């Protein structure tokens, strides 16, 4: 990794092991973009200057002959002749919004700065180098600092932006994107991950076209509908070849990621806070920080792009305490009992769990308030319901711990039920607009996390329970999106800050809890995977991937999720068959094999298991303990896409030293005749020899990758197998 400034060409160059990124200061002190792609030795790319025979409809900059609207710009501003979407628009005290930033100075240093109040990737001095470029808008006194970090071991570059008000008058940020990338081509396909509840992160690939194509959220959450991620890939790109540029926001509130193709064939990518219903007032002396954008480039296809994200997030985003650490195998009572449990039932589940080798009991929704026997009430009343937990939470936790298990609890800390003690006492603590009725969702409203008193109250309530039950884990759920966005404490002008202030409040509460309880494991959740983003992953190193626990549906969901997020980020549980969401019956074995692609656990009533199933659980736990490091620390190869082949799917994990691999194969629907199932492995060392756990034979890596593994068997629907390949020396 290195970051350099070449004085002669006035160019900056950031290198990662396999990529380079070049930008340049041109006449008038504008910043233009020159290159992002495979690593190059050159720094001076001034020859790439774009000249065209343009008309008066592309105004020149007043001080140079450069029509900015024709150039690849590094951080385009509003109102000075570039009519594409701008990265920043600042409305000054005079009411105008023309924004014109010019280079002032820069710094290059080792390491990576912390983003104040925001989640971000982290790196020490040996892991990354950072470039900060200051550019000023003299009219408003806005000092814009573009922050770039290049990683030493990953082909990833992060961007973020700070804006300081150096004047004596306030101004408003009406657009403030985390990063822009102008690319001199539009020959790309756009991949994004769409979805809905119980069907999250479905990859969709379309050709770029002229004009704007975007994904966004205005839900004050990243949402089920569009993950804050896009990739631009060359039309020939597949898992193993072609160009793949990935963009992922480390942010959990309303976002916009947009690709705009202009009339010269260039593409502008913008990613950051959604400007809809947003503006932020920056008073004299104050600084605003935009969330982080992670950019990954691979010239070896979409698979390598994903593996880069996985390595980066495993090593430089996941909380240090949990980095590379196996998470407890848990049993969660939700699909086992729903709201219908008491302390004795929980202890009987815990007894079975302990006998089977499960490591933690998680008590899901329904343990608190006075009448939480369905989802009608009591959110906000974070005291234990002693009608259900008659022995009290402390004693329940003691009895669970006595069995050798850890103990975790479900919370939905951002919500308030209109039927609750908290709402009776403090109705204006929820997001609301005076004079308008609140729209309920799941019969609940949202607490106003922009308020310090709300945040303090929640930390206080949760701390009491965490202390009393000595919790090892909490599941942090979030089951609705925002409407009637208004806060009782913000001024009219500040109401447009609420969607960002809200998430800053959520991040603050999570950080304060983790400062207080450093070993606490937080699992993120939002009606399944409705807030599965890198912002949440910073605090919650694992996230409940989806409320759809059907193994066959989960293949799609985990496949799509793996475009960006590593196996260690996904929680996956074996649940009952027929499945509660789809009514599909799937074998115990396949349910286990699919759930082992994430943080493994069970979500059913263990008391109902047959003896055979109990034996199967013991075997699964032993397999998971054997393979977890390979799955979560290895490289993922998506071999057969369940979206391209709706009959069967295969994926593989390879250890970093290529000494072992794990192949998983699932037949979603058998065909009438058996057929060739020759699955070609990837990522092995062709020179090495590997023994297959399936037939005990020894194969060369070259053979396994070129001829493939013979998986021809007489399958039934939902059959599956895993084969472990270990190096023979
Ligand atoms: C939604 C979650 O995704 C489920 O796992 C469960 O915790 C329920 N909420 C409880 O209300």
What pLDDT does residue 541 have? 98
Just list the catalytic residues: 477, 547
As to burial, measured by CB atoms within 10 angstroms (0-12 exposed, 13-18 middle, 19+ buried), residue 264 is middle
| pLDDT of 618 above 90 | yes
Phi, psi of 464 (to 5 degrees): -60, -45
Lowest-confidence segment of 129-133, 186-190, 454-458, 712-716 by average pLDDT:
712-716
| pLDDT of 409 above 80 | yes
Render pLDDT for 699-718 as a digit per residue (tens, 0 to 9).
999 999 999 999 998 899 99
Task: Output the ligand 1 site: residues, CB below 6 A.
Answer: 334, 364-365, 375, 410, 477, 479, 525, 527-528, 544, 547
Spatial CA neighbour of 414 closest among 373, 451, 364, 366:
451
Q: Where are the alpha helices (DSSP H) in 426-497?
A: 452-469
- 């729903």: which residue's tokens? 338
Average pLDDT on 239-255 reads 98
Render pLDDT for 276-325 as a digit per residue (tens, 0 to 9).
999 999 999 999 999 999 999 999 999 999 999 999 999 999 988 999 99
| pLDDT of 460 above 70 | yes
| Entry pTM | 0.98
Q: Taking phi first (over 0 means left), then psi (-120 to 50 degrees means alpha), and beta for anything else, what does residue 404 get? A: left
Ligand 1 mean position to 365 CA, how many Å? Answer: 7
Ligand 1 mean position to 569 CA, how many Å? Answer: 18
Mutation test residue for ligand 1: of 477, 478, 545, the one with most atoms within 8 Å of CB: 477
Ligand 1 mean position to 477 CA, how many Å? Answer: 7
Rounded distance between C-alpha atoms, residue 409 and residue 341, angstroms: 14
What pLDDT does residue 55 have? 74
Check if the beta carbon of residue 198 is closer than 8 Å to that of residue 225.
no
Ligand 1 mean position to 575 CA, how many Å? Answer: 14
From the alpha carbon of 528, which atom of ligand 1 is closest?
A: 3
Average pLDDT on 578-592 reads 98
CATH number assigned to the domain with residue range 639-728, chosen from the 4 options 2.160.10.10, 2.60.40.1180, 1.20.1370.20, 3.90.226.10: 2.60.40.1180
What pLDDT does residue 674 have? 74
From the alpha carbon of 527, which atom of ligand 1 is closest?
A: 3
- 64's CB contacts (< 8 A; 6+ apart) are 26, 27, 28, 30
Mean pLDDT over each residue of the chain, to the nearest integer:
97
What pLDDT does residue 380 have? 98
Ligand 1 mean position to 541 CA, how many Å? Answer: 18
- 681's CB contacts (< 8 A; 6+ apart) are 637, 639, 652, 661, 663, 701, 704, 705, 708, 709, 725
In this structure, the chain runs to a length of 729
For the domain made up of 321-633, give the CATH fold. TIM Barrel (3.20.20)
- Which residue's CA is the nearest one to ligand 1's atom 2? 527
Model confidence at 64, pLDDT cuts 50, 70, 90, reads: confident
Going from N- to C-terminal start, the domains of the chain cover 3-317, 321-633, 639-728
Ligand 1 mean position to 528 CA, how many Å? Answer: 7
Average pLDDT on 430-454 reads 98
Average pLDDT on 664-680 reads 90
How far, CA to CA in Å, does 32 sit from each of 10, 145, 159, 175? 11, 15, 16, 19
Average pLDDT on 250-260 reads 98
- Counts of helices then strands in the chain (DSSP H, E): 12, 38
What pLDDT does residue 257 have? 99
Tell me if residue 125 falls in helix, strand or coil. coil
Ligand 1 mean position to 358 CA, how many Å? Answer: 21
Mutation test residue for ligand 1: of 373, 408, 410, the one with most atoms within 8 Å of CB: 410
**In 272-292, which positions are buried (b, 16+ CB within 10 angstroms) versus exposed (e)?**
bbbbeebbbbbeeeeebbbbb
Model confidence at 485, pLDDT cuts 50, 70, 90, reads: very high
Render pLDDT for 414-426 as a digit per residue (tens, 0 to 9).
999 999 999 999 9
| pLDDT of 476 above 90 | yes
| pLDDT of 66 above 90 | no
| pLDDT of 1 above 70 | no
What pLDDT does residue 518 have? 97
Ligand 1 mean position to 217 CA, how many Å? Answer: 22
| pLDDT of 373 above 90 | yes
Architecture of the domain delimited by 3-317: Distorted Sandwich (2.70)
Specify the pairing of strand 473-476 against strand 521-524: parallel
- For helices 343-356 and 393-402, what crossing angle results, to 10°? 20
Average pLDDT on 399-406 reads 98
Mutation test residue for ligand 1: of 339, 525, 554, the one with most atoms within 8 Å of CB: 525
Model confidence at 574, pLDDT cuts 50, 70, 90, reads: very high
From the alpha carbon of 375, which atom of ligand 1 is closest?
A: 11
As to burial, measured by CB atoms within 10 angstroms (0-12 exposed, 13-18 middle, 19+ buried), residue 41 is exposed
What pLDDT does residue 57 have? 87
């Amino acid at each position: 990794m290195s970051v350099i400034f070449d004085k002669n060409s006035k160019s900056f160059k950031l290198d990662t092991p396999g990529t380079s990124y070049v930008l340049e200061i041109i006449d008038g002190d504008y910043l233009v973009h020159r290159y992002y792609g495979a690593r190059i030795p050159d720094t001076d790319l001034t020859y790439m200057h774009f000249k065209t025979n343009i008309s008066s409809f592309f105004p020149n900059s007043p001080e140079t002959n450069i029509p900015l609207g024709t150039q690849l710009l590094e951080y385009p501003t509003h109102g000075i002749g570039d009519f594409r979407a701008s990265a920043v628009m600042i409305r000054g005290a005079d009411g105008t919004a023309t924004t014109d930033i010019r280079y002032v100075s820069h710094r290059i240093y080792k390491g990576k700065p912390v983003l104040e109040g925001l989640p971000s990737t982290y790196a020490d001095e040996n892991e990354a180098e950072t470039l900060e470029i200051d550019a000023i808008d003299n009219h408003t006194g806005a000092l814009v600092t573009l922050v770039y970090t290049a990683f030493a071991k990953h082909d990833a570059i992060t961007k973020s932006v700070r804006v300081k008000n150096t004047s004596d008058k306030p101004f408003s940020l009406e657009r403030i994107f985390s990063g822009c990338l102008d690319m001199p081509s539009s020959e790309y396909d756009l991949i994004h991950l769409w979805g809905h509840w119980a069907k999250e992160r479905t990859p969709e690939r379309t050709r770029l076209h002229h004009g704007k194509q975007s994904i966004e959220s205005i839900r004050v959450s990243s949402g089920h509908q569009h993950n804050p991620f896009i990739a631009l890939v060359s039309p020939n790109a597949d898992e193993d070849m072609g160009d793949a540029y990935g963009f992922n926001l480390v942010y959990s509130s309303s976002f916009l990621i947009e690709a705009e193709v202009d009339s010269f064939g260039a593409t502008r990518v913008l990613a950051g806070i959604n400007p809809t219903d947003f503006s932020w007032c920056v008073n004299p002396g104050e600084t605003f920080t935009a969330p982080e954008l992670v950019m990954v480039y691979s010239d070896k296809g979409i698979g390598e792009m994903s593996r880069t994200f996985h390595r980066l997030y495993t090593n430089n985003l996941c909380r240090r305490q949990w980095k590379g650490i196996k998470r407890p195998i848990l049993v969660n009572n939700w699909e086992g009992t729903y709201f219908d449990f008491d302390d004795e039932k929980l202890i009987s589940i815990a007894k079975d769990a302990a006998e089977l080798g499960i490591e933690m009991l998680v008590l899901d929704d329904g343990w608190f308030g006075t009448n939480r026997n369905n989802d009608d009430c009591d959110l906000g009343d974070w005291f234990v319901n002693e009608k259900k937990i008659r022995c009290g939470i402390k004693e329940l936790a003691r009895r669970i711990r006595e069995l050798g298990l850890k103990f975790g609890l479900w919370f939905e800390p951002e919500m308030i039920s209109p039927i609750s003690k908290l709402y009776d006492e403090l109705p204006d603590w929820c997001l609301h607009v005076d004079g308008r009725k609140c729209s309920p969702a799941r019969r609940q409203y949202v607490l106003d996390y922009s308020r310090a008193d709300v945040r303090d109250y929640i930390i206080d309530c949760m701390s009491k329970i965490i202390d009393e039950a000595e919790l090892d884990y909490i599941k942090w759920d979030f089951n609705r999106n925002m409407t009637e966005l208004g806060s009782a404490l913000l001024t009219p002008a500040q109401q447009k800050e609420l969607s960002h202030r809200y998430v800053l409040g959520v991040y603050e509460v999570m950080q304060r809890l983790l400062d207080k309880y450093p070993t606490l494991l937080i699992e993120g959740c939002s009606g399944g995977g409705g807030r599965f983003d890198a912002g949440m992953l910073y605090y919650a190193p694992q996230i409940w991937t989806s409320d759809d626990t059907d193994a066959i549906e989960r293949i799609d969901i985990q496949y799509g999720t793996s475009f960006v997020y590593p196996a260690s980020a996904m929680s996956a549980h074996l649940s009952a068959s027929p499945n509660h969401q789809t009514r599909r019956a799937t074998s115990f074995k396949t349910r286990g094999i699919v759930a082992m692609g994430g943080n493994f656990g069970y979500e059913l009533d263990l008391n109902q298991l047959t003896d055979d199933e109990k034996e199967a659980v013991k075997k699964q736990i032993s397999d998971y303990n054997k393979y977890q490091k390979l799955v979560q620390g290895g490289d993922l190869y998506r071999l057969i896409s369940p979206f391209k082949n709706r009959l069967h799917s295969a994926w593989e994990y390879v250890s970093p030293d290529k000494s072992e691999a794990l192949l998983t194969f699932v037949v979603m629907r058998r065909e009438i005749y058996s057929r060739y199932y020759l699955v070609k492995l990837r990522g092995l060392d062709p020179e090495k020899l590997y023994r297959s756990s399936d037939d005990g034979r020894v194969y060369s890596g070259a053979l396994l990758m070129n001829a493939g593994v013979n998986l021809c068997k007489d399958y039934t629907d939902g059959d599956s197998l895993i084969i472990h390949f270990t190096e023979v020396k």
